[in-house]
Structure 1
Amino acid sequence: MTMFEMLVAHERRRQRRGLWRASGYAAIVAIASVVLLGLSGWFITAAAVAGLAGTAAALGFNYMLPSAGIRLLAILRTAGRYGERLAAHDAAFGALARIRPALFLGLARGPAEQALALTQGQATARIVQDVAVIEAQFVRLSAVPGTIAAVASGMLLCALGGWAPALAVLLCVAALLGTADWLARRLDAPGRDVQRASGALKDAFASVADAAADLRCYGVEAQAMAAVDTCSLRLAEAQRAQAGVAGWFELAQATALGVAGVAALLLAAPAGGPLAALCALAAVMTIDGASPVLR
């Protein structure tokens, strides 16, 4: 383990209370979201079935309790999301207050050949982007407990329609996470290319800005701007490659959403329309609950 990794691990331990709070809120949000969508699907379908069954069935249908449950779950989801963001960002900012100076000192105190090999733009890009990545990691540490809670609650709801819908949801989640892990490894190289291209662009722009008067005096502004434009195009190409890989995450999630929803609907159909709708929407929300891990 490197010194930097040890520092990040130490800050995680220091901020564990805030991270535990964020994880608890994330679990509440995940459970409330899955149950909310599943209950909504059951309520709408059951109300439609009761209405089609005749006046007596419609009058005997209790719509007050499901409505109250939906309202309560919506409030829990909103409040939990606010609490999660507040706790996660509080922990992240507290950790970054100590990690940011450590990153700068790590670059300044590094081996001479390594420090001199970095240009000013590359050093700036590395510090800024590394800090952004660390902040995102701290904020998203609550994603794993949230995903576990979403999968558990989704499988429990789908089990109301039989074991087959629950198993289908679990398989879809496993396939999605496996695909995301494979795509994440492919994203490393484009990310490094973006960092290098960003540093080169900052260096090129800084050199042109510093020598603006001389460039204008000798009439070579066009050549200087062409060099900056070349660096800009390289950065755009690197970002395009990175976005291309990231787009596969969205495709994988959308595919898993559709497959899980349709599979749960078909497999739970023998249990009746309301339960089939509950299973289908719970399956969709379960896959959606895993989306923070994909990011």
Structure 2
Amino acid sequence: MQETPLCLRVGYFLPYSMSNSNTTDFTNPSAFILLGIPGLEAAHIWISIPICVMYTIAVLGNFTILFIVKRDPSLQGPMFYFLCMLAVTDFVMSTSTVPKMLSIFWFNSREISFSACLTQMYFVHSFSTMESGMLGAMAFDRYVAICHPLRYSTTLTNSAVAKIGLAVVLRSGILTLPYPFLVRRYPYCRTNIIPHFYCGHVAVVKLACADIRINSYYGLFYLFSVIGVDVFFIAVSYTLILWAIFRLPTKDARLKTFGTCISHLCAISALYIPDLFSSLMQRFGDNVPLHFLILITSVYQLMPPMIHPIIYGMRTKQIRDRLHRLFTHKYA
């Protein structure tokens, strides 16, 4: 059963296997072989074109956000600091998988060392959950801005923003740390071939010749303590925000206030809707081909990093105006 993006991140509902006495165990194989997208090897070159385009847009878009916020002092406030943190997170998350994916597609470079595989696993899981945490922090920013506008500047000081960002980073980094250590301690006797384009936790641990139920239990804990908390926090924040908006006296005031949340709601949708769709496909699409599920995973890996800078570039007036001034000044 092929993993879904959410399963790859949290590693839950895993089957477990026991060592086979007829096989030879070997601890920590020297390398794994990544197949890319099994069944579509002949189309790897063509698949690489949209993947490369999406990755290029993601890199340029997120670096543009960082450049604009850095250059314009008027944008250096809590909301834009969180946006910069999200841009860095998106860049690292996509860069953790796409370069290796393209090397498989272009140069047939399928081998990845055991240590590099564990490193990639750690970065993919930690930064994907970090992205969810950043969206939760941005929901808190919108809550304070709308529900307590007079206390916004005193609540979200630079120190408070830094502490929130650090808490998100530490939470993701520490909770993800057991994954590579759990994977490293297992013996591997089945195969070192991973039918995917990167080292996800589930994809690697399913190759182990040991009881891996502890990974399943930890994955459930990880799911509820990270994704569950973030989704709950965002839902509560927007419930309070909508309550505050509906209490405004005029329709224009309600629409204008709600408009400040559109970018963030679109960013949330870009992360969670593809994830939900992929999870449903996995749960109920028993006859869905493996290569189709992996294609969905590749799109999921790149969609949020590509869409987020576009959303904020189009929907945030300050960034849109700064981009306009930048290009008109450059080509005037």
Interval containing the TM-score (normalised by the shorter chain): 0.3 to 0.5
**Structure number having the greater helix percentage:** 1
Q: Which has the higher contact order (CA 8 A, sep 6+)?
A: 2
The TM-score with structure 1 as length reference comes to 0.36
Structure ID, larger Rg: 1
